[in-house]
């Protein structure tokens, strides 16, 4: 019986996580200040370029131009898997996203503060179809050889 009662609670918790992450993506699409409130002060955001390993402050400074012009990025989840520690203090997830870059994949770590979730770590990557990998990696090698 205990297992049966845990399943609905876990499903509800996953719904809360999904709602939080979806609202965070929506905050970016609408350049709402709430986007930034959803990070921990020591959060890390890793973008698609190898140079994009940012602290919260660095990422916010980089993205300021998007908020200034009121147009950032739109990420819509196609699929998301949510996992969490037994005490539900830590949550990690992976997601596939529709973006202006095409399909991307991302993973994130949240901390449950008791007052809500905060993003501790987020990594965004392009989803490169395997049939394109050879030409894609060749283009990257050529680009890097010119650096």
Q: What is the CATH number of the domain that holds 93?
A: 3.10.450.50
Confidence at 5, pLDDT banded by 50, 70, 90: very low
Q: Do 112 and 89 meet the contact criterion of CB atoms below 8 Å apart?
A: yes
Q: Which pLDDT value is given to residue 2?
A: 44
Domain boundaries, position 116: 2-145
- State the average pLDDT for the chain: 94
Residue 1 clears pLDDT 80, i.e. is over it: no
pLDDT digits (tens, 9 = 90+) for 80-123: 999 999 999 999 999 999 999 999 999 999 999 989 999 999 99
CA 106, 112, 116, 118 dihedral sign is: negative
CA distance 59 to 108: 15
Q: How many domains does the chain have?
A: 1
Residue 4 clears pLDDT 50, i.e. is over it: no
> Three-state DSSP class for 125?
strand
Block residue for tokens 């609670």: 9
């Amino acid at each position: 019986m205990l297992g049966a009662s845990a399943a609905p609670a876990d499903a509800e918790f996953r719904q809360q996580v999904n709602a939080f992450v979806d609202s965070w993506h929506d905050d970016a699409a609408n350049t709402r200040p709430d986007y930034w409130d959803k990070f921990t002060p020591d959060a890390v955001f890793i973008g698609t370029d190898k140079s994009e390993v940012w602290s919260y402050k660095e990422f916010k400074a980089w993205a300021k131009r998007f908020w200034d012009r009121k147009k950032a990025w739109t990420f819509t989840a196609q699929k998301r898997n949510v996992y969490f520690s037994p005490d539900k203090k830590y949550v990690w997830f992976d997601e596939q996203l529709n973006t202006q870059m095409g399909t991307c994949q991302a993973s994130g770590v949240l901390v449950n503060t008791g007052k809500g979730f905060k993003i501790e770590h987020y990594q965004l990557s392009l989803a490169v179809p395997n049939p394109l990998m050879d030409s894609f990696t060749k283009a990257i090698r050529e680009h890097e050889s010119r650096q």
